[in-house]
Structure 1
Amino acid sequence: MTVRSRRPRARGMRVLVGVGTMGVVVGMVAACGASAEDDSDPDQRSFALPGRTLTVDSDDSALEVVVSDDVKDRNVRVTRWFDGRTVMGESPKVTWNMDKDRLTFRVKCSGVISNCSAKHRVVVPRDVALTILNKDGKVTATGLREPLKVRTADGSVTVQDARGPLDLSSVDGSVRAVDVTSKRISATSRDGSVRLELAAAPDRVEVRSKDGSVNVALPVTKSGGDGGAASYRVDSETVDGGSDISVPRDTRSPHHVSVRSVDGSVTVRSAN
Structure 2
Amino acid sequence: MTSPATVIRSRPLRALAVLSGGGILVAALAGCGDTNVDEAPVERKSFALSGKTLVIDSDDSDLSVVQADVADVRVSRQVDGWVFGGSGPEKVWKLKGDTLTLRMKCSAIASDCRGRHTVKVPLGTAVSVRSDNGGVTAEGLSGSVRVASDNGDVTVRDTTGPLELRTTNGKVSTENVAAERLSAVSDNGNVHIGVSAGKVPDRISAVSDNGEVRITLPRAEGPYAVTARSGNGSADVDVPTDRESSRVVEARSDNGNVRVRAAE
- Per the normalisation by structure 1, the TM-score is 0.85
Task: Specify the alignment match of 2:29 in structure 1.
Answer: 26
Residue pairs, 1:36-75, within 5 angstroms = 36-39=37-40, 41-68=41-68, 70=69, 73-75=70-72
Give per-residue Cα distances to partners, 1:212-247, cap 9 Å, x unaligned: 00000011214xxxxxxx200001221011011010
Residue in structure 2 matching 1:267, options 236, 251, 259? 259
Q: 1:98 offset after TM fit, Å?
A: 0.4
Tell me how far apart the structure 2 counterparts of residues 91 and 150 of structure 1 sit (CA, whole Å).
27
Q: 1:190 offset after TM fit, Å?
A: 1.2
Does the 8 Å CA contact 1:218/1:271 hold for their aligned counterparts? yes
Does the 8 Å CA contact 1:35/1:118 hold for their aligned counterparts? no
Q: 1:46 offset after TM fit, Å?
A: 0.2
Tell me how far apart the structure 1 counterparts of residues 42 and 36 of structure 2 sit (CA, whole Å).
13
Residue in structure 2 matching 1:84, options 81, 86, 102? 81
Q: Which runs of 5+ in 1 are unaligned?
A: 1-16, 223-229
Aligned-pair Cα RMSD in Å: 1.7
Tell me how far apart the structure 2 counterparts of residues 135 and 34 of structure 1 sit (CA, whole Å).
21
Does the 8 Å CA contact 2:46/2:74 hold for their aligned counterparts? yes
Give per-residue Cα distances to partners, 1:121-146, cap 9 Å, x unaligned: 10001111100111221111100111
Does the 8 Å CA contact 2:214/2:251 hold for their aligned counterparts? no
Tell me how far apart the structure 2 counterparts of residues 133 and 162 of structure 1 sit (CA, whole Å).
19
Does the 8 Å CA contact 1:191/1:210 hold for their aligned counterparts? yes
Higher share in helix: 1
Tell me how far apart the structure 2 counterparts of residues 265 and 91 of structure 1 sit (CA, whole Å).
43
- Please tell me the residue identity of whatever aligns with 2:55: T
Residue pairs, 1:80-229, within 5 angstroms = 80-199=77-196, 200-222=199-221
- Please tell me the residue identity of whatever aligns with 1:38: E
Does the 8 Å CA contact 1:88/1:112 hold for their aligned counterparts? yes
Q: 1:24 offset after TM fit, Å?
A: 4.6
Q: 1:26 offset after TM fit, Å?
A: 2.8
Q: Report the secondary structure of 1:92's partner residue.
A: strand
- Per the normalisation by structure 2, the TM-score is 0.88
Give per-residue Cα distances to partners, 1:142-169, cap 9 Å, x unaligned: 0011110001122001100011100000
- Please tell me the residue identity of whatever aligns with 1:260: R
Does the 8 Å CA contact 2:228/2:259 hold for their aligned counterparts? no
Give per-residue Cα distances to partners, 1:196-225, cap 9 Å, x unaligned: 011132200011111100000011214xxx
Compare CA radii of gyration and give the structure with the larger one. 1
Does the 8 Å CA contact 1:198/1:271 hold for their aligned counterparts? no
Higher share in strand: 2
Tell me how far apart the structure 1 counterparts of residues 88 and 248 of structure 2 sit (CA, whole Å).
52
Q: Report the secondary structure of 2:55's partner residue.
A: strand
Q: Which runs of 5+ in 2 are unaligned?
A: 1-17
